[in-house]
């Protein structure tokens, strides 16, 4: 396959052996209680740390879509390694994980790029970025075969978020699309301080309050490295008819490691009709 983006975090951020990777994800799913949620799921928010730290939190989101079918999935993540303006799209080929190749939904990718002047082709933004790849094995186990469009946000300002959400809505208006926003929460505060900062973001996620999240992030009242992707999911899902929201799970790295002196926060949420 041309333009195949090879895994850069298999064997470190998550297991590189397919059988172990699938087994671990199944164990995460098994530990999630059954949730009484009816309606069509349009948007998810999930963390992007190593599975040891945030895999169980992510499982709360991905278990909800197990066995469902979508025309395509759009995964939006922040850029951690490359600085640029706008949004980078990967329009051809596929992403590879130990569980196989996830092909790009090329027609949808072209529609997205045509719908927005801020979306550009910049493969370098994808080559080392973990925030998108980390979501794929969960999607592969939950959905089986699917195609997707990866989007990396260089800018997370309000203008970029609203522009991207509108482009997604226009491109997805006649399709059944799942949008995933990839984000962790506060970074490297002590346990109590992290919980206080994260509570602000969690409130906005729970109420699908995009404007409130934007304002809180701008004022430094809450932290999220993927605040832009979260905002895009809430905005686009609402435009696509998702009037309901639910915060699914919150934890931080201190809950896993026991070291509460410097932690990273994680949350999962769902947006549905």
- At 202-231, the pLDDT tens digits run 999 999 999 999 999 999 999 999 999 999
Instruction: Name the pLDDT band for 1 (thresholds 50, 70, 90).
Output: low
Number of domains in the chain: 1
Cα→Cα distances 64→34, 73, 79, 146, 240, Å = 9, 15, 27, 16, 19
**Tokens standing for 34?**
């059954």
Instruction: Tell which residue, 1, 21, 19, has the closest CA to residue 11.
Output: 21
Q: What is the CATH number of the domain that holds 165?
A: 3.40.830.10
Q: Is 28 helix (H, G, I), strand (E, B) or coil?
A: helix
130-181 pLDDT, tens digit per residue, is 999 999 999 999 999 999 999 999 999 999 999 999 999 999 988 999 999 9
Strand partners, 74: 149, 179
Q: Which domain holds residue 164?
A: 4-272
* β-pair type (100-103, 187-189): unpaired
For residues 52-63, average pLDDT = 98
Cα→Cα distances 63→58, 85, 142, 254, Å = 9, 34, 7, 24
Q: What is the pTM of this model?
A: 0.96
CB contact at 8 A, 86 and 155 = yes
Strand partners, 250: 267
**Tokens standing for 84?**
């640029």
Strand partners, 207: none
CA distance 133 to 229: 15
21-30 pLDDT, tens digit per residue, is 999 999 999 9
């Amino acid at each position: 396959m041309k333009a195949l983006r090879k895994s850069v975090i298999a064997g470190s951020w998550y297991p590189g052996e397919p059988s172990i990777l699938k087994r671990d994800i199944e164990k995460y799913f098994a530990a999630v209680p059954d949730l009484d949620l009816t309606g069509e799921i349009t948007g998810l928010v999930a963390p992007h740390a190593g599975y040891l730290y945030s895999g169980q939190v992510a499982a709360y989101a991905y278990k909800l879509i197990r066995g469902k079918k979508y025309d395509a999935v759009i995964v939006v993540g922040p850029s951690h390694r490359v600085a640029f303006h706008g949004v980078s799209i990967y329009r051809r080929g596929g992403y590879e994980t130990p569980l196989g190749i996830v092909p790009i939904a090329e027609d949808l990718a072209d529609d997205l790029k045509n719908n927005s002047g801020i979306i550009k082709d910049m493969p370098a933004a994808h080559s080392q970025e973990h925030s998108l790849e980390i979501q794929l094995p969960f999607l592969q186990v939950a959905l089986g075969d699917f195609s997707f469009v990866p989007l990396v946000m260089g800018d997370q300002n309000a203008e970029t978020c609203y522009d991207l959400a509108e482009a997604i809505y226009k491109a997805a208006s006649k399709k059944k699309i799942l949008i995933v926003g990839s984000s962790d929460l506060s970074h490297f505060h002590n346990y109590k301080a992290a919980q206080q900062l994260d509570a602000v973001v969690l409130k906005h996620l729970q109420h699908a309050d995009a404007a409130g999240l934007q304002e809180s992030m701008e004022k430094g009242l809450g932290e999220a490295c993927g605040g832009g992707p979260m905002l895009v999911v809430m905005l686009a899902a609402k435009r696509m008819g998702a009037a309901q929201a639910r915060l699914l799970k919150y934890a931080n790295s201190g809950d896993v490691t026991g070291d509460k002196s410097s932690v990273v926060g994680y949350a999962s949420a769902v947006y549905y009709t």
